[in-house]
A = this chain, B = another copy of it.
Amino acid sequence: MFLTFAPPTAFRTSLFARFRPAADCRRSPRHAVRASACESPTDHFREECGVVGVWRHPEASAVAYYALHALQHRGQEGAGIVSATDDTLHEHKGLGLVSEVFENALHLIPGDAAIAHNRYSTAGEKNVRNVQPFRASFREGQVAIAHNGNLTNAQKLRMELELRGSIFATSSDTEVVLHLMATSVSSSAGIERKAADALNRVEGAFSIILLTTNRLIAVRDPYGFRPLVMGELALEGRPPALVFASESCALDIVSARMTREIEPGEMVVVDRDGHVSNWFPFPSVRRRACVFEHIYFSKPSSIVFGRSVYMSRFRFGQLLATSCPLPEADAVVPVPESGVPAALGYASASGIQFQQAIIRSHYVGRTFIQPTQTARDIGVKLKLAPVEALIRGKSVVVVDDSIVRGTTSRKIVRMLREAGARQVHIRIACPPITGGCFYGVDTPDKEKLLSYRMSDEEACRFIEADSLAFLPLNAMHEFLGDEAPTFCDACFSGEYPVLPAVVDEKIGGLV
């Protein structure tokens, strides 16, 4: 879900034209002359969100809590759980990490069903009002919603809803879904019918879990941008509980067995009696699963879109090594932690020794940066420490999963040079990011993207590396094989499956 409906800054349809000549070393041979011309940034896209659903488990909230914990990497700003007992919903939400929010709070959310949400951290309003699941009551009773994704026509729908008399309590696109359900004119009763009606009116990305006192509904948009899996948790002497989650790692932690993905466009409904039904209420389109889930977002231990995330990254690293070979280097060094699988792949394909020459602090999470001169000199060292014995006098290949603004990459290069590195080569295990995302990822303004702003040569100079290279887009496609067209790579290619609705006029005000 997304807090502001405005499309990424300065969005113009014309921008989607291919504006960017292939400038990196693999695509443009002229850049290959100087390996130092192959470069890239290294900070990350912001995490999106994680959703969880638990059905028919005597400790549903506890299961949801641990599943949220396993999905903590998808959002660290806030978390919430809504649970259901026979006649009502219960909620607990808060800002902070999952373990902080739910310390001593599980008793507040009883019942044998629960849905849960991890919210990512935005620069904007950190207010508990925007922490999901959202809970509301309407003529069908109480309902709660947890949403991962982003609705591209939310602002337009919100205007229409306001014109008919709806009031909005949050600034989230997710709330639109609840209003559409409440105003659905579907003559058939049933929350699932109303949910299908509502979701047929929205555009964009959604992996949504809904909870009422007698239903749990898991549904994925027809493009299947964001992941959603289901599994079974065996219980002694009773039928297995059902667990739904953004990634399979959330099933693993509670020892649930992943049974399958929710298909793109599929709605799965489970009722009090344990009856599971599914249908496909949306027009069929080709899947466009987010490839960035494999590049950075998902946990390496997860199976996402039917593939091992770790193995994808390892293979990206191998392809990176073969697509832009280095004459020689002393060590392959990952930017911890997310760069490790790709760096291992790079090392395996290049034959260069892998070394963990940058150590990550375990305690950096909430470090208080003191308002002192000393603090300004600390920089990236608070989080990362170089192993000088592996670096001094050496030529090192630093592998990172992706690069966004490039500012962190530059700090890492400087840190390694201070530690005595003879040469620092940066290798990025994904193509250059040249556009934002409209499907649930918090991306900076396009103007801040390193690879939008400058050629690979310029980027290499910006981050002060000896060379910079990206995984070529066609290498990524080659790896994906026949499935390549079923992945969304719009942030690299500019091919956006759905464009945001343009809203001419603002009637109501955002809360």
Chain A interface (Cβ within 8 Å of chain B)? 58-59, 62-63, 65-66, 69-70, 72-73, 76, 87-89, 91, 97-100, 102-104, 106, 127-129, 134-142, 159, 162-169, 178-179, 181-184, 213, 249, 252-255, 299-301, 303, 308, 310-311, 337, 340-341, 344, 348, 353-357, 359-363, 365-368, 370, 372-375, 377-378, 381-382, 385-390, 418, 507-511
Contact A378–B254 (Cβ < 8 Å): yes
Instruction: Determine which of B137, B356, B511 lies in contact with A162 in the assembled complex, contact meaning CB atoms within 8 Å.
Output: B137
Q: Of B140, B166, B254, B340, which contacts A374 at CB under 8 A?
A: B254
A511/B136 in contact, CB under 8 A: yes
Which 6 A-B residue pairings sit nearest by Cβ, starting from the closest? A165-B183, A308-B389, A142-B509, A141-B509, A62-B374, A139-B162
- What B residues does A162 contact at CB under 8 A? 137-139, 182
Chain B residue, CB-CB nearest to A310: B387
Cβ of A322 to closest chain B Cβ, rounded Å? 17
Residue of B nearest to A88 (CB): B509
B510 A142 Cβ-Cβ under 8 A: yes
Shortest Cβ distance from residue A243 to the other chain B in the assembled complex, whole angstroms: 11
Q: Is the interface of A mostly helix, strand, loop or mixed?
A: mixed
Decide: B167 and A363 in contact? CB cutoff 8 A.
Answer: no
Which of the listed residues A73, A362, A374, A389 has the most CB atoms from chain B within 10 Å of its own CB? A374
CB–CB B135/A511 < 8 A: yes
A303, B387: Cα distance in complex, Å: 9
Do A300 and B99 touch across chains, with their CB atoms under 8 A apart? no
CB neighbours (8 Å) of A129 from chain B are 91, 129
* Number of identical protomers: 4
Whether A367 contacts B73 in the complex (CB less than 8 A), given A138-B165, A142-B509, A385-B301, comes out as no
B348 A353 Cβ-Cβ under 8 A? yes
Q: Are A255 and B183 touching (Cβ within 8 A)?
A: no
**Could you say which of B97, B182, B308, B387 contacts A166, with CB atoms under 8 Å apart?**
B182
Minimum Cβ distance to chain B for residue A176 (Å):
11
**Cβ contact within 8 Å between B167 and A300:** no
User: Contacts A299-B359, A508-B138, A511-B135 given: A167-B178 contact, CB under 8 Å?
Assistant: yes
The residue in A135, A310, A370 that gathers the most chain B C-beta atoms within 10 A of its C-beta is: A370
Distance of A254 from chain B, by nearest CB (Å): 7
Q: How far is the CA of A242 from the CA of B65 in the complex (A)?
A: 47
Are A301 and B167 in contact, CB atoms less than 8 angstroms apart? no
Which residues of B sit under 8 angstroms from A100, Cβ to Cβ?
A: 366, 368
For the complex, give the distance between the alpha carbons of A378 and B169 in Å.
35
Q: How far is the CB of A215 from chain B (nearest CB, A)?
A: 13
For the complex, what is the distance from the CA of A102 to the CA of B375, rounded to whole Å? 14
Residues from chain B with Cβ under 8 Å of A168 in the complex? 136-138
Whole-angstrom distance between the Cβ of A473 and the nearest chain B Cβ: 24
Question: Using Cβ atoms and an 8 Å threshold, which residues of chain B touch A337?
Answer: 360, 362
Cβ A102 vs Cβ B167 within 8 A: no
11 A–B contacts from the bound complex (CB under 8 Å): A76-B363, A88-B509, A88-B510, A98-B363, A99-B366, A137-B168, A139-B508, A253-B381, A300-B356, A344-B355, A363-B365
Contacts of A366 in B (CB 8 A): 97, 99-100
Contact at B137–A368, with CB atoms within 8 Å? no
Bound CA–CA A148/B469 (angstroms): 46
Also in contact, A385 and B252, with CB within 8 A (given A142-B510, A162-B182, A363-B365): yes
Whether B62 lies near A375 (C-beta < 8 A) is yes
Interface contact B127-A300, CB-CB below 8 Å: no
Cα–Cα distance between A308 and B378 once the two chains are bound (Å)? 22
**Chain B min CB distance to A125 (Å):** 9
Q: Tell me which residues across on chain B come within 8 A of A182, comparing CB atoms.
A: 162, 165-167
Cα–Cα distance between A353 and B359 once the two chains are bound (Å)? 21
**Contact (A139, B507) CB under 8 Å given A365-B363, A375-B62, A382-B69:** yes
Which residues of chain B come closer than 8 Å to A303, judged between CB atoms?
388-389
Check A387/B344 contact, CB under 8 A, given A254-B378, A378-B66.
no
A63 to chain B minimum Cβ distance, whole angstroms, is 6
Which residues of B have CB within 8 Å of A166? 138, 165-167, 182
Residues of B within 8 A of A249 (CB): 385
For residue A135, which residues in chain B have a CB less than 8 angstroms away from its CB? Answer: 169, 511
Chain B residues within an 8 Å CB radius of A362 = 72-73, 337, 362, 365
